[in-house]
Amino acid sequence: MPYPPWVMEHKKKGMYVNKINESTYRIYRGHSERIKGTDKVKRVVDEYIGTITEKGGLVPTKPKVKGEVHTVRYGGYALLWWHCRTQIEGVPKRMGEDGTAVVASALLHALYGDDNPFLYSCDWTGVAYPDVSLPLKGPLASEARRVARGLLSTLGSALGEDVAAVLEASAFICRVWVNGRWVKTSIPEPCKALAQKHGFCWEV
């Protein structure tokens, strides 16, 4: 059946439309499957896209949240990786299998002054460097703190008197685990302004 132009402008390949009334249609993504043992075909809905009205256009369906949702801080990790990548990547090359734990601990020390399990679980460091047992002890702990001092020195040279403000701003840039994947959050305008001023990016 023909659909009005204001419906067809939203209908793409693989999408189907159901008429509700003269001014309302539902649009969804789907596929066809043959009914076993017959020549009949049924249409299977893969995703409801939304409702189309002549006045309002396409109103997307709000996605359902399934399973666990949690947030981690991302900005500090991105900031250190942007400015200190060579230093960070050099630790595992120099220390072998112990390098991953030292890097994770050093990043947390640089950002928070500690490397306890709570901070590790709430920061992107725990995603980037999984399965690290913290806090470190003995020589590895000393090396992690030494590396952290080096990271902060590099950061200070790059950001100058704004280093404290940028580190504070980094706490407001997060990633969210939702529906089985990591999702970026919007970056606050003051954080964008600091990144533009100093020529770095909050996404790495």
pLDDT tens profile 60-86:
887 778 888 999 999 999 999 999 999
Q: Are residues 74 and 56 in the same domain?
A: no
Q: Are residues 47 and 128 in the same domain?
A: no
Q: Is the pLDDT reported for residue 136 higher than 70?
A: yes
Q: What are phi and psi of 155, to 5 degrees?
A: -65, -40
In a domain, 85, yes or no: yes
Residue 25: partners with Cβ closer than 8 Å, 6 or more residues away: 3, 7, 17, 18, 19, 51, 52, 53
Q: Are residues 112 and 192 in the same domain?
A: yes
Structural domain including 159 reads 70-198
Contact by Cβ (8 Å): 173, 80: no
Contact by Cβ (8 Å): 191, 203: no
In a domain, 203, yes or no: no
Q: What is the pTM for the complete model shown?
A: 0.72
Q: Are residues 146 and 185 in the same domain?
A: yes
Q: Are residues 139 and 80 in the same domain?
A: yes
Tally of domains in the chain: 2
Q: Are residues 125 and 164 in the same domain?
A: yes
Residue 1's pLDDT is what? 59
